[in-house]
Amino acid sequence: MSAPPATPLGIGIAGLGTVGGGVMRLLAANAPLIAARAGRPLIVTAVSARDRARDRGFPLDHPTWHADPLDLVRDPRVDVVVELIGGAENPARALIEAALAAGKPVVTANKALLAQHGKSLAALAAAHDAPLAYEAAVAGGIPIIKTLREGLAGNQITAISGILNGTCNYILTTMRERGTPFADVLADAQRLGYAEADPSADIDGLDTAHKLAILAALAFGQPVDLAAVHVEGIRAIDALDIAYATELGYRIKLLGIARLIDGKIEARVHPTMLPAEAPLAMVEGVYNAVLAVGDQVGRVLLEGRGAGAGPTASAVAADLIDIARGRFTPVWGHDASASMTPTPPAPIGAHIGPYYLRLMVADQPGVIADITAGLRDNGVSLEAMLQRGRSRNAAVPVVLVTHETPEHAMRAAVSQIQKLPTVLEAPTVIRIEPG
């Protein structure tokens, strides 16, 4: 006698943009495969979006349409709510909170909401024994959330870093390959659809900061205050810096970096010089990569597409399959009732490392002596110096690479140096990491 057919998992999707449409297409295209892996069919029973009349390139004949996304929570045919609206506040926040309060599982790709409200959402999920899954919120199709919560669960994670924004990685890669100015490459990225019309969240580092806050919370077992993450973007990176980096044997990447240092969490986002042979340095174009370091496993590197309909929908589908199978892990990977001692943030001024410094100076006697005096006065040791060109009528670049030094000392040195009358532009300072 054959077993009765498995009960389908009813899915309600809020948001039918790029990712929502990708989820709809993936669930239809790979339905038999997904059903086999989930142990039952996954059926989209209801949807909610702003414009019902819009042609999205796929049929919406069978799912129930709800103008109000909160109706997905009340719909008895919806077993799990997929939030793909975006944004850190309502309606996305209200939808997730209502679903968790009703005990309904939630799958989301909303990095901003998790970075800003992850602590309260985790508490709500635990209180109502409702899964909150978010593989799609960080690095698109790279399964880094599952890796940290499950695959590396037996490890003390000591550091995590990564290229978490494909727009910035595309811009920096193209600037290096073509020698093209930042503004021109940004315009090209917008034309190709790699950058938004307003690219501020990407190029100013906020998108990476949201993702880093989530990864650091998972890595270290507790929410990370987004306000404590030091954030710098890539607007100030010049093609000249990229050329000098290449000459010195480095590549410039926008990295998110989080580490446990002396009982504190250091979390920072900024342009970083990496040795050209370092694994993260070789990740190019729109690709993302995450490097985690565990006390038992050592270094683990994951690389793949960090955005787009297909990769992000793939991550959503993975969460849905877990929920269909009854597999889920606490939001931050540990029992919410466990006693956790809050870990204070490490201020950026306490960071220690080498630095790249580029100055545009007047070409006249005594300039180098004045610059090196500024470094000496603040205890900054010089490893290398490059000086190219001579011009009595224009600024010339002087590039310095320091030995390891505290951030506060480097800042003091730069503050002293930029007051020199021979320094004609604001200095460019880029931190150097070993990779």
pLDDT in tens, 39-84: 999 999 999 998 877 877 777 778 999 999 999 999 999 999 999 9
Is it the case that residue 345 has pLDDT exceeding 80?
yes
Average pLDDT, the chain: 93
Share of the chain above pLDDT 90, in %: 84
Is it the case that residue 174 has pLDDT exceeding 80?
yes
- Model confidence at 338, pLDDT cuts 50, 70, 90, reads low
Residues of the chain with CATH 3.30.70.260: 349-432
What is the DSSP pairing of strand 287-294 with strand 298-305? antiparallel
pLDDT of residue 29: 96
pLDDT of residue 262: 86
Q: What is the pLDDT of residues 266-302, one digit of tens each?
A: 999 999 999 999 999 999 999 999 999 999 999 999 9
How many Cα atoms within 13 Å fall on the side-chain side of residue 397? 15
pLDDT of residue 1: 41
* Calpha distance 182→174 (Å, rounded): 9
- Catalytic residue set: 211
Write down the residue that tokens 């609206």 correspond to: 85
Share of the chain above pLDDT 70, in %: 96
Least confident of 18-27, 63-72, 104-113, 342-351: 342-351
Write down the residue that tokens 């349409």 correspond to: 65
Q: Taking phi first (over 0 means left), then psi (-120 to 50 degrees means alpha), and beta for anything else, what does residue 385 get?
A: beta
Is it the case that residue 392 has pLDDT exceeding 90?
no
pLDDT of residue 28: 95
Q: What is the pLDDT of residues 138-153, one digit of tens each?
A: 998 899 999 999 999 9
Is it the case that residue 329 has pLDDT exceeding 50?
yes
CB 18 within 8 Å of CB 309: yes
Residue 381 backbone dihedrals phi, psi, to 5 degrees: -95, 135
Spelled out in words, what is the top-level CATH class assigned to the domain 9-137?
alpha beta
**What does the pLDDT average to over 380-394?**
83
pLDDT of residue 389: 67
Q: Where are the alpha helices (DSSP H) in 193-288?
A: 200-203, 206-220, 239-248
pTM of the predicted model as reported, rounded to 2 decimal places? 0.94
Nearest to 241 by CA among 231, 256, 251: 251
Least confident of 168-172, 199-203, 218-222: 218-222
**What does the pLDDT average to over 387-391?**
72
Helix axes 92-101, 111-127, angle to 10 degrees: 20
* Calpha distance 246→16 (Å, rounded): 43
Q: Taking phi first (over 0 means left), then psi (-120 to 50 degrees means alpha), and beta for anything else, what does residue 414 get?
A: alpha
CB 209 within 8 Å of CB 115: yes
Residues of the chain with CATH 3.30.360.10: 144-305
Is it the case that residue 193 has pLDDT exceeding 90?
no
* Calpha distance 128→68 (Å, rounded): 23
CATH number of the structural domain 349-432: 3.30.70.260
Fold of 144-305: Dihydrodipicolinate Reductase; domain 2 (3.30.360)
Residues of the chain with CATH 3.40.50.720: 9-137
Is it the case that residue 341 has pLDDT exceeding 90?
no
- Model confidence at 339, pLDDT cuts 50, 70, 90, reads very low
